[in-house]
Amino acid sequence: MSEQKTMRAARLKAFHQPLVVEEVPMPVPGPDEALVKVMSSGLCLTDVHIQEGIIKSVHVPYTPGHEMAGVVVQLGRNVQHKEIRIGQHVVCGIDITCGECPLCRAGRENLCLHRIRIGFERNGSHAEYAVVPYTNLFPIDEKIPFEQAAIIPDAVACMLHAIKDQGQVGKGTRVLFYGTGALGLQGVQIAKWLGAEVYASARTQAKLDKAAELGADVVINTREKDLIEALNELTCGEMCDVVFDLVGQEDTLDMLLQCIRPGGKIIALAYAVEKFFINSQETVIKEKEIIGVRGSTTENLRESIRLVEEGKVIPYISRRYQLDEINQALDDLKASKSIGRSVITFTHDPVTG
């Protein structure tokens, strides 16, 4: 008698409800897929948005989780002789893209018109195992801890895309991370690597201390100081070239328009509200740009893995949870309790896996 294999997964069964950790059938990889033993799964504010039902393409019940690192344990029929082997440490790209639409062909596959995302439209990594298309697996050096590897596809690669592609940041660019935390603390390191002059602001001193430790040249506590006044003083009125908005409240962009010079850029990464209000003159006659960011390209992901392997970026994790604690983890995320990124770590039984 063959017993059906099962695994534990955190399931979102209904919007606005806690996740349910339960035994589910072990997924089986299709011909072009692999089964990954998840070792670490990153938690993202998008997980909260998903739970709140804001992401319309998500259908319940399903298993969320879109930042994963783990070990390949089973390969589909068509994947047997390719470069990925059993036992390989991997990180998983989030977007499954079509490769054929105009945006994919233009190298902007992060905006693919037909994309399906792991942990959104299909099951993700808040589970002991996950099935992933072969083309979404990226090998990573075994010396990189799984928890650091897990957040590369989202927190690191997305910041690389924001800073390098959207912000065009280079040597000497004066940048500000507004709301330095889970994303900004990775961004500070990337911007320093590119040679930028880095300012970081936050309302929590512990985040700013971490930002300074990771290389920020100037930190500003916005609970104590007015940001515009402080920048005006520190830059002798020149203000910043590029600002990264990691807060995304209704009036955030309007305030940040005053933190950049004429012709400067705001790179918008956060959307905590449905609409933003901005000053028309600041935008129009000063040629200030507001540029969005969605995920990252495959090239951004490959480069992010290289940066981490070479020690130029050390993904910063500040909280670790077990799968059973996932609802606590999401509540903590909502309450902004964590300084940096949070992850779920898995301990697999050494015998049964």
Taking the C-alpha atoms of residue 303 and residue 307, their distance in angstroms, rounded to an integer, is 6
Q: Does 91 bind Zn ion (CB under 5 A)?
A: no
Instruction: Give backbone dihedrals phi and psi of 242, rounded to 5 degrees, phi first.
Output: -140, 135
Using CB under 5 A as the binding rule, whether residue 154 contacts Zn ion is answered as: yes
For residue 130 the two structure tokens come to: 């996950």
- Does residue 48 touch Zn ion according to CB under 5 A? no
Closer residue to Zn ion (CB): 159 or 208: 159
Look at the alpha carbons of 17, 20, 25, 31 in this order and tell me if their dihedral is positive or negative: positive
Q: Which residues contact 342 (CB under 8 A, 6 or more apart)?
A: 42, 43, 182, 317, 318, 319, 320, 321, 329, 332, 333
Binding of Zn ion by 101 (CB under 5 A): yes
Candidate list 9, 12, 27, 46; residue touching Zn ion; CB under 5 A? 46
308 binds Zn ion (CB under 5 A): no
**In angstroms, rounded to a whole number, what is the distance separating the alpha carbons of residues 147 and 200?**
24
| Min dist. Cβ of residue 163 to Zn ion (A) | 17
Q: Determine, following the binding rule CB under 5 A, whether residue 194 of this chain makes contact with Zn ion.
A: no
CA distance 53 to 16: 7
To Zn ion, the closest distance from the beta carbon of 103 in angstroms equals 6
Which is nearer to Zn ion, 44 or 72 (by Cβ)?
44
Find tokens 């440490």 and name the residue: 89
Instruction: Report in angstroms how near the CB of residue 115 gets to Zn ion at its nearest.
Output: 6
Contact window for Zn ion (CB under 5 A) among 30-38, 111-119, 177-185, 188-196: 111-119
Judged by CB under 5 A, does residue 112 bind Zn ion?
Answer: yes
Task: Out of 19, 104, 149, 269, name the contact with Zn ion by CB under 5 A.
Answer: 104
> Could you please report the per-residue DSSP string of 28-84?
---TTEEEEEEEEEEE-HHHHHHHTT-STT--SSB-----EEEEEEEE-GGGTTSS-
Q: Which stretch binds Zn ion (CB under 5 A): 40-48, 119-127, 278-286, 324-332?
A: 40-48
Are the beta carbons of 118 and 138 closer than 8 angstroms? no
Among 44, 216, 220, 259, binds Zn ion (CB under 5 A): 44
By CB under 5 A, which span of 97-105, 196-204, 289-297, 317-325 interacts with Zn ion? Answer: 97-105
CB of 185 vs Zn ion, minimal distance in Å: 15
- Can you give the binding site for Zn ion, defined by CB under 5 A? 44, 46, 97-98, 101, 104, 112, 154
